[in-house]
Amino acid sequence: MAAVTDQMAAPGAPAIRRTPKGTFDIVFRNASRAAALFVLVLLAGIIASMIIGGWPAFREFGLGFITSSVWDTQNEQYGAWPAIVGTLSTALIALVLGVPLSLGIAVYLTQLAPPWFKRPVSTTIELLAAVPSIIYGMWGLFVFVPLFAAYVQIPVSNIVEGIPLVGTVLYSRSPSGLGILTAGIILAFMIIPFIASITRDMLEQIPSVLRESAYGIGATTWEVVRHVLVPQAGVSIIGAIMLGLGRALGETMAVTFVVGNANRLSASIMDPGSTIASRIANEFNEAMGLQLNALIALGCILFFVTFVVLVIARILVARVKSF
Amino acid sequence: MNSAVTPPATTPHQVWGRVRPARRTADRAMKIIATSFTLLAIFVLFWILGMLLVKGIGGLSVATFTQVTPGPGSEGGGLANAIVGSIVLTFLGIAVATPVGVLAGTYLAEYGKGSKLADLIRFINDILLSAPSILIGLFVYVILVEPFRGYSGWAGGVALGIIAIPVIVRTTEDMLRLVPSSLREAGAALGAPPSVVITSVTWRAAKSGMVTGILLALARIAGETAPLIFTALNNNFWFSPTLVGGVSNLPVTIYQFASAPYENWQQLAWAGSLIITVSILCLSLIARRIVRGGK
């Protein structure tokens, strides 16, 4: 038996090659290896196409492409700074709002929900991830934006007007409902299912003897979560949050609908802005020449940022998965 | 709803007498917050679905499925070309992704045990799984649209396929790993070479799980908009059967019609949103049911 499994583990051992099916065996093994290698080719191709496509813009503007705030199609001057800031700030807002929500949901699902209620709630939360990005955009633009303008932007602007710092960050010059904050809020709902379901899985993997002994010495549910579960799953929860961040950075359609697509940088998160992805989606079909290269160069920046975030996320999630 | 908050009778919460009030308050607060966050997320999903039903159902009629998308300013019209185009592109994507994804997943699960290369591929695949779809669109634009000087349905299908591949690789590998190795050993003991063991024993045992992966990939790519803007674009008429030139599809049609000044365009955008969301949610629910039935 051991010899047979050894041959299974090492395909291509001579005894197997002698069978009439030998040719098919070799073809099948090489085809599946080629398919697996294709995954690597895809990644290499994406990196190469971004760098080659964006090269003219990088060469033309150098480091100034990242630091410049000018985006002038008439004079062929392109700078990525407003889009980079927009991308980072929308993603940050999404995390600030989405992470507490996701953790609350994960705690509810693993600790509080009655058993019969767990599965329907889990499914509902996960279906939030199945709703296409463009539908979030439609909901954002036609339902959320008018409400947000009337009940948040206008009252908040009236309150904070004239106050230093807060008055700059939260004041909206034209309360249309569109803006960086709106995009961040929509993104928060879009990343909830990813963070919540990974955190739920992580909390469920924690051996229940830990929970039970904490309850046994008289801890409340909150204390069990705070002092036993969170420290146990801590690293992987950070990994889950990074995965959500990766999603938020690259989200395109929903953001394009609600971010306002302004090319200028504003100090207020209530004002319209743009993200890397929304700018690409907006301008790509009319772009020619250097503008096209500049947009692909933007994509290149987005790729490297999300790549680093996702690598960290996968390492953190994988490390704890094995306990 | 309050009954949902009450912990099961087995947890030792009933005796509050000896717990300091501050601890009790913190515990209560956490429970209320966690429950209300969950309710908020559920509420948002039903709000979105409700909005689609209210605004979309009025736009659904026989014409929606039989007439082509209207030009600017013209009356009536439907979504027939966009619906058919979306189906063609999505299935093209799945047709590209299924062989590659299933074979790659098979390699990782069956041949790649303990190999460094397989670990690397698995890691990269997980990264591609969450990579922004807009970048896949740009990639396909650079390799398939720019060199051939034109948008095409083929480019759109390939872009969707590239998005679907990591999903299929991941689920195929996970499902094959669930197959007990005694089945493989039994096959090998009968003298079957590894390829035959895999194709007629392991694949067969993991069939429903692998189908689920393909369904999930379908659900994932059916609503993708960003990559299609750069590849298949859109078209207000019936597209050419060779798929060269713009191919009409639902997501990009919704994107273009939603904020247009024409009322019939907006109406169609809502109808299209309803159609696409309901189909995708149904696909996801079916995929879930298959997994549950398999276990």
What pLDDT is recorded for position B92? 94
Say if pTM beats, i.e. exceeds, 0.95.
Answer: no
Encode pLDDT of A220-260 as tens digits.
889 999 899 988 888 889 889 999 999 999 999 999 999 98
C-beta separation of B167 from B101 below 8 A: yes
- The reply to whether residue A218 touches residue B127, judged by beta carbons under 8 angstroms, is no
Which of B125, B117, B100, B161 is CA-nearest to residue A32? B100
What pLDDT is recorded for position B280? 94
What pLDDT is recorded for position B295? 46
Distance between CA A39 and CA A192 in Å, rounded?
A: 28
Average pLDDT of span A38-48: 94
What pLDDT is recorded for position B18? 63
Average pLDDT of span A210-229: 89
- Torsion of Cα atoms, B4 then B5 then B10 then B11, to 10°: 160
What pLDDT is recorded for position B16? 54
Q: How far is A251 from chain B (nearest CA, A)?
A: 7
Instruction: Assess whether pLDDT exceeds 70 at residue A161.
Output: yes
What pLDDT is recorded for position A25? 87
Encode pLDDT of B194-212 as tens digits.
888 999 999 999 998 899 9
B contacts of A216 (beta carbons < 8 Å) = 12
Considering only CB atoms, B38 lies closest to which of A100, A108, A115, namely A108
Distance between CA A54 and CA A38 in Å, rounded?
A: 24
Which of A99, A116, A138, A96 is CA-nearest to residue A253? A138
Q: How many CB atoms lie within 10 A of CB A32?
A: 24
A1 touches chain B (CB under 8 A): yes
Q: How many CB atoms lie within 10 A of CB A234?
A: 13
Average pLDDT of span A78-96: 93
Instruction: Assess whether pLDDT exceeds 70 at residue A172.
Output: yes
The Cα angle at residue B159 between residues B153 and B165, in degrees rounded to 5: 130
Structure tokens at B126: 């997980």
Instruction: Using pLDDT thresholds of 50, 70 and 90, give the confidence band for residue A93.
Output: very high
B167 touches chain A (CB under 8 A): no
Instruction: Using pLDDT thresholds of 50, 70 and 90, give the confidence band for residue A165.
Output: confident
Higher pLDDT, B138 or A263: B138
The Cα angle at residue B284 between residues B278 and B285, in degrees rounded to 5: 90
The mean-pLDDT minimum among A45-59, A268-282, B36-50, B239-253 falls in B239-253
Higher pLDDT, A54 or A8: A54
Distance between CA A44 and CA A50 in Å, rounded?
A: 10
Instruction: Assess whether pLDDT exceeds 50 at residue B176.
Output: yes
% of chain B surpassing 90 pLDDT = 54
% of chain A surpassing 70 pLDDT = 92
3-class secondary-structure state, position A91: helix
C-beta separation of A261 from A83 below 8 A: no
Instruction: Using pLDDT thresholds of 50, 70 and 90, give the confidence band for residue A66.
Output: confident
Instruction: Using pLDDT thresholds of 50, 70 and 90, give the confidence band for residue A1.
Output: very low
Q: Over chain A, what is the mean pLDDT? A: 86
8-state DSSP, B12:
T
Average pLDDT of span A155-183: 84
C-beta separation of A185 from A93 below 8 A: yes
What pLDDT is recorded for position A71? 85
- The reply to whether residue B138 touches residue A306, judged by beta carbons under 8 angstroms, is no
Residues 232-261 of B with CB under 8 A from A: 233, 251, 254-255, 258-259
Q: How far is A214 from chain B (nearest CA, A)?
A: 11
Instruction: Assess whether pLDDT exceeds 90 at residue B163.
Output: yes
Structure tokens at A2: 């051991």
Give the residue from chain B lying closest to A136, CA to CA. Answer: B48
Encode pLDDT of B131-152 as tens digits.
999 999 999 999 998 888 788 8
What pLDDT is recorded for position A3? 45
- The reply to whether residue B106 touches residue A32, judged by beta carbons under 8 angstroms, is yes
Distance between CA B182 and CA B161 in Å, rounded?
A: 34
What pLDDT is recorded for position A5? 46
Instruction: Assess whether pLDDT exceeds 90 at residue A89.
Output: yes
Encode pLDDT of B218-255 as tens digits.
999 998 998 998 888 887 778 887 778 788 899 999 99
C-beta separation of A136 from A189 below 8 A: yes
Encode pLDDT of B53-66 as tens digits.
998 888 888 888 88
Average pLDDT of span A95-123: 93
8-state DSSP, B70:
P
8-state DSSP, A286:
G
Residues 52-71 of B with CB under 8 A from A: 52, 55
Distance between CA B136 and CA B139 in Å, rounded?
A: 5
Task: State the pairing for strand pair A71-72/A77-78.
Answer: antiparallel
What pLDDT is recorded for position B46? 95
- The reply to whether residue B31 touches residue A302, judged by beta carbons under 8 angstroms, is no
Encode pLDDT of A5-18 as tens digits.
444 445 544 444 45
For A258, B189, B200, B201, the CA distances from A144, given in Å and listed in that order, are 9, 63, 52, 52
Q: Over chain B, what is the mean pLDDT? A: 87
What pLDDT is recorded for position A284? 87
Distance between CA A254 and CA A140 in Å, rounded?
A: 7
Answer positive or negative: Cα dihedral of A204, A210, A215, A218: negative
Higher pLDDT, A169 or A293: A293
**Nearby residues of A292 by Cβ (< 8 Å), 6 or more positions away:** A53, A284
